Chains A and B, each alone.
Chain A
Amino acid sequence: MNEMSNKWIGQSTIRPDGAEKVTGRAEFAADTNMPGMIWGSVLRSPHAHARIVSIDTSKAEAHPGVKAVVTAQDIVDFPVDTPVPLGIQDMRWMCRNIMAREKVLFHGHPLAAVAATSEAIAAEACKLIEMEYEVLPWVIEIEDAIKPDAPILHEYLEHDGKPSNITGTLEHKLGDVEEGFAQADVIIERSFTTRPVHQGYIEPHACLVSVAADGKTTIWSSSQGQFMVRAMTAMLTDMPQSDIRAIPAEIGGGFGGKTIVYLEPVATMLSKKSGRPVKMVMSREDVMRASGPTSGSMSTVKIGATKDGQIVAAEGTFYLQAGALPGSPIRGAAGCGFAPYNIPNVHSVGIDVVSNRSKVAAYRAPGAPIGAFAVESVLDEVAEALNIDPLELRLRHAAREGTKAAHGPTYPLIGFVETIEAAIEHPHYKAPLGKHQGRGVASGFWFNAGGESSAQVNITEDGNVVVTTGHPDIGGSRAAIANVAAELLGIDYRRVSVLIGDTATVGYSNLTGGSRVLFASAMAVTDSAGQVITTLCERAAKIWDIDPDAVTWEDGEARPAGDNAGQFEPLSLADIAAQATQTGGPIGHGAQLNTTGAQGGFATHICDVEVDMDLGIVKVLRYTSFQDVGRAVHPAYVEGQMQGGVAQGIGWALNEEYIFDKDGHVDNPGFLDYRMPVCSDLPMLDAVMIEVPNPAHPQGVRGVGEVPLVPALAAIANAVHNALGLRFSSLPMSPPKVLAALEMPEAAE
């Protein structure tokens, strides 16, 4: 741990990219243009499930203004029998997701794309593409998809020896649950469902791609990883990565949904074929129909406890919708649900199910809120049955240093207990409640992540600092990096400029995701800055003609290490930079690391709701979240993560859902009917940061972005239960459902 004065770490400094963002100058992907640019448009499937018999693009190609047409034939095919993993994705599914092959698997599935001199002409030409389909029966919901006679999406994927829509399973085991349940006096078992919800980023996917005559390709796009864009585009278009320069535009929200590509490889092929730069921007409707939400789920959780309040066994089965192609976050659901607790016997199973809706993408702590919703709802009932305060029950079983988790690890130093204690002590927990009001609590866990990160720290000729890192800044990470660099170098944060490099200007850096960005990039910056400081001391030693070991770096200047080193006036960064040419050349260092030591994040939430008994509207009155944030390098942006996660949880719990019509089409692909929380729906969202620094990180960083969403669904459901005495085991608790349940309690299930 760094023992410095912490002048900047812990300060809510102004972000380096701030002025551009508040004046409308920041360049998001759709804001970029190029001379000679043309527009791409995508033809999408009108069917939820159909075999493609033929595609005839000749009329579209002949249409005036059309410069290129692309179909699956132009995208590299990864045969279905050979897995090709890339991160957590598999290129077999990725190539079929961006352009349908063999079959269309959901309404909105891309079939072809046209580039033309205007957006309108491109869209018009799409309609001239002649398609012949063999329409197939389709299936959307998990319970239907796992029936023995369900329409099968992928005949070649088998489960239990026969073609099945179950396309993957995962199991965690600790102790012996049978024995555990045998000791239990109270056993509660409940089933739950949640609906798929969209990440809801306000910026639709967009890119601009220019393939030059020599094949050198530049991609500007909005993504959570320029290196992911490069790797996937290279693989899907059969180009060497060295020919592709992926430039990360400012990103208008992602929440996991921009960790894969949709448009970039298609635009690349359109540009290659037309010889023109091609811009593609999704409509909101396309985003809602065809980009990945997170999974819907169906789960069963059973928890057993002795009458003196000891939980002895827990079991969970979590079915998650993957969408059209395999790969739902079963690891998050089955792994995170029980992870906060010290329970001797655990059995947790995740099951991946495909169906005819768009392929899921990551969404903030993928899968974990689903697991926590079920587990934390049942825990609430266990507490009730045992007549123990729900936070007290959690505290008694809270994981701490040394607890063995069912998903594998034995925890190092973690701050979960502290979040529960803070919640118990908080005035919110004791505040009086009125009529039709209720209070709920819940906790949650997210793994957090490290992984590859690169950074470069350069000293400018005038003695200031430029830091380049490789993770797109999705919520203020540049500000936090500026704090870290300023702290290490002992200078004002305003002298540090932080940039996100493109794939040609910074070393490989993994996705912005997993709550890894500050954890990993601060390590790379710390390493680089350490090397810079060593060089600065060497240069000072040269100027003074003393041994480099006799120089220290303090408060932004080189000083003689002690009286023995000699008497010299300190040399500032500017002094040393001014003499850099004479003392050995430019000063700057980089680091490319595979970072390890990320540790789990824990949170506990308290939520108060009021139910409008006439309209069925659940209003969140007060919300306080408590989170072990490790070290809050930039507190305002840490709070922002906590508040944003809670707001998304409120939407998920109370309103957000897709509605499908009788043809398997999404009926509400827009913000009017897909109802995300608006400003007047929410109260202030209090965020209590608890700092238990991660000993494995130079600044104590733990990762903060994802866990804030995890407990929210259950905290709200538990509050509604407290208000009405009704347990909603099915989300969202939307007004029609609440009204129905008020009349007939079974409707809550």
Chain B
Amino acid sequence: MAKLHVSTTINGEPTEFLCEPYETMLDVLRDGLGLTGSKEGCGSGDCGACSITLDNRLVCSCLMLAAEAEGHEINTIEGMAKGENLQPLQQKFLEMAALQCGICTPGMLVAAKSLLEHNPNPTETEVRYWLAGNLCRCTGYDKIVRAVMDTAEEMRGAAQ
């Protein structure tokens, strides 16, 4: 079967790629486009390591067909920092040691950013339920939840 031609936007850049109809967005990001920041922990939508946003909606890129990107906007971990400036969540994760091995971190950050866009003032419970699709085996989530809450507070402060 012929490959599909897809025109999309990735991290703000117009992007075109060819893919097999069965290929996932994660496969194309990692193998086709060299954007290996999104990780494959399971390939079945259960770990969140592959989290990206599709038109500002949080999705598991392992569950999305690459062809579905046509005409839409994709954002990945690679687009989160602006040049040398880390996004506040990235900075806070470093300051609060909210990562140990770091394999869950890209997905966790993408998910957390999406949370704060939807809800700038989340409770601890809201943070925990929003991130429930992102597995971390290293940290016990404590420092991750604290980092997200602290960032939210700082961002609210900065917005005032």
Interface residues of A (CB under 8 A from B): 12, 14-15, 17-19, 21-28, 30-31, 199-204, 250-255, 281, 283-284, 474-476, 636-637, 639-640, 643-648, 670-672, 676-682, 684-685
Contacts and interface: CB of A to CB of B under 8 A. Distances in A.
Contact of A640 (B47, B100, B106, B109): B100
A26 B104 CA distance: 12
**Most A Cβ at <10 Å: residue of B90, B142, B143:** B142
Given A28-B103, A636-B97, A644-B140, A23 B135 contact: no
A643 B76 contact: no
Nearest to B133: A678
B100 A637 contact: yes
A253 B142 contact: no
A711 B8 CA distance: 51
Contact of B105 (A14, A22, A475, A646): A22
Given A30-B40, A680-B125, 15 more contacts: A18-B99, A19-B94, A22-B94, A23-B78, A23-B80, A199-B137, A202-B103, A202-B137, A252-B39, A252-B102, A475-B100, A643-B143, A644-B137, A671-B44, A679-B141
18 contacts: A18-B94, A22-B90, A22-B105, A23-B90, A24-B35, A25-B37, A30-B30, A199-B137, A203-B101, A203-B103, A254-B101, A255-B137, A474-B100, A476-B97, A671-B44, A678-B131, A679-B127, A679-B128
Nearest to B31: A33
Nearest to A20: B102
A23 B81 contact: yes
Interface in B27-82: 30, 35-44, 46-47, 49, 76-78, 80-81
**9 nearest interchain CB pairs?**
A24-B37, A252-B103, A647-B140, A636-B97, A671-B46, A643-B140, A21-B102, A24-B77, A475-B100
B19 interface: no
Contact of B86 (A23, A255, A672): A23
Interface string B120-160: 00001101110111111111111111100000000000000
A253 B140 contact: no
Contact of B43 (A23, A284, A682): A284
B86 A636 contact: no
Contacts of A14: 94-95
A251 B101 contact: yes
Contacts of A672: 44, 46
Nearest to B84: A19
B62 to A, nearest CB: 10
B4 interface: no
Contacts of B136: 202, 679
A684 B86 contact: no
Contact of B132 (A201, A474, A678): A678
Nearest to A623: B140
Contacts of A254: 101
Contact of A676 (B102, B135, B144): B135
Nearest to B99: A21
A35 to B, nearest CB: 13
Contacts of B18: none
A202 B37 contact: no
Given A22-B99, A202-B104, A679-B128, A685 B140 contact: yes
Given A22-B105, A201-B101, A678-B135, A15 B94 contact: yes
A202 B41 CA distance: 5
Contacts of A255: 137
Given A202-B41, A644-B140, A24 B101 contact: no
A490 B133 CA distance: 44
Contacts of B104: 202, 252
Contact of A680 (B36, B42, B128): B128
Nearest to A672: B46
B11 to A, nearest CB: 11
Contacts of A678: 131-133, 135
Contact of B137 (A24, A25, A200, A685): A200
A678 B129 CA distance: 9
A640 B143 contact: yes
Contact of B144 (A19, A671, A677, A679): A679
Nearest to B97: A636
Contacts of B128: 679-680, 682
Contacts of B129: 679-680
B139 A643 contact: yes
A646 to B, nearest CB: 6
